[in-house]
Amino acid sequence: MSKPIFELVDELPTNNLTVSALRSLDFIAPGEWQNVVGFVNTIQTVTGETDEELIQQIGERAVYLYNDRSQGYQRAMWLYQSVDSTDKALGAAALANTVGEKIPLLGFLNRITPKADKAQTIDLCLKLVAELVAFCQINGIPGDSIGDFVASLGEYSGESFIRMAALVCFDGLIPLGPDFISSALSRINQTSPQDLDENSTFQNIRGEIPGGNSESKLNFIGESFNSVSGWMSDFVASHNLTPQNVANNLQNFVDFADDKLDYLAAFLDVSTNYYEHTGTQTLARRLIERASAEI
């Protein structure tokens, strides 16, 4: 990794399109996610400590744990970054100075193209698998521990909860519609290893996905999505989520026509990095909790 964990946390933005998009999900669980940024601030928030010397010790221990390559923290961070970086291949830098303004989506229609449903499905499934593998890395368990991951979802909170909410809303409901779970299961079953090999996100993270070849990795991806489909279905039903009510809340910061949800999905792909943002926060929290317990 090119940057230490404290620098990654210090560089998290307090307000940008990613933060705005995540805040639009507050209607699902009001107050569940707070955009905690800054390494020292995160230590204080997680531990409640105010003693500067103790905060320093916790921070140093957290940095040491992150730098220990026998642990899985750096690989988890790389996964969070990687599944976002391929989405942003069209370049979101041009949008960086529009924070605080309501962005008219129509102006970007000539720059972004919605993904085909098959590509969108593969990316949705790969993001889910990245979450699963990162969870295993952070917790020091085998990377194919699907059952442990599914069991943990009921305990997700804060930045981890909002990341899964964003996955369901931004990569499921908006681009693929209200039946995204069943349609994704159907499409992933019709996906060939060659289809997978042609996906840029898969090319980037394939080494971290369990399986000896593309076919076995595809089977693992399908098994993972199928195993989490029940949780996703319950999540959608319990929060009464639809593409429309998710989009309505997004309209607080982006203007778009109701029949352009596929373009909205493409816009979110190129203008946000919610996996990396909340993944950095999750890693920082886990490191700080462990460091604090060990001191």
pLDDT tens figures, 86-117: 656 444 544 544 555 677 776 666 677 788 89
Query: Residues 31-66: pLDDT tens digits?
Result: 999 999 999 999 999 999 999 999 999 999 999 999
Percent of the chain topping pLDDT 90: 74
Specify the pLDDT at position 295: 87
- pLDDT for residue 90: 45
Q: What is the 3-state secondary structure (H, E, C) of 196-257?
A: HHCCHHHHHHHHHCCCCCHHHHHHHHHHHHHHHHHHHHHHHHHCCCCHHHHHHHHCCCEECC
Residue 142: per-residue pLDDT? 83
Taking 70 as the pLDDT cut, the residues of the chain under it are 1, 86-101, 106-110
Say what the pLDDT of residue 196 is. 94
Q: What is the pLDDT of residue 91?
A: 45
Q: Are the beta carbons of 127 and 246 closer than 8 angstroms?
A: no
Model-wide pTM > 0.85: yes
